Structure 1
Amino acid sequence: SGPKRKSTPRKPLATKAALENAPSTGQVKKPHHYRPGTGALCEIRHYQKSTELLICKLPFQRPEAPDPITGFLMASTRKGGKT
């Protein structure tokens, strides 16, 4: 077999804490980005937990029946509604 190679000492890996404590070199910090889809999943969880109404109730509280003669929808005149 051939001659043995001397291994050079490796650079120590920078730990997360060491990187955070390192002095800043005046560079602008990059904005944080989530991976694609992570924000959407977070938003889904948010709306699943909440009980707030996402669609207004009012249009669903006033169903308008079709006129039996013409078959068109007629505006309700009950409770002071406009015609």
Structure 2
Amino acid sequence: MYVDFTRSEKGRKPDGNLLQTISLKSSGDLKLQIMVDKSSLEIFAVDGEKVFTSLIYPDQDATGVSVFGAGAKFIKLNVLNMDK
């Protein structure tokens, strides 16, 4: 799995940190918990077996997150408001 910051962090992170990878070994369904707030991104994979954390500095008008995978399909997606 990889996290691509090239569209959101170019000029804010060193070029070597714009594309970060996480090695996952999974057959079948893969459970990801992804948490985003005003300045951080956290991904928990395989019930916390792998964890990815990064500071993020999105523009004020940034309102979206994209998640995709080659040959993957989403079974369930929950979006929670972390302000409450």
Q: TM-score, normalised by structure 2?
A: 0.19
Which structure dedicates a bigger proportion of its chain to helix?
A: 1
Larger radius of gyration: 1
Which structure dedicates a bigger proportion of its chain to strand?
A: 2
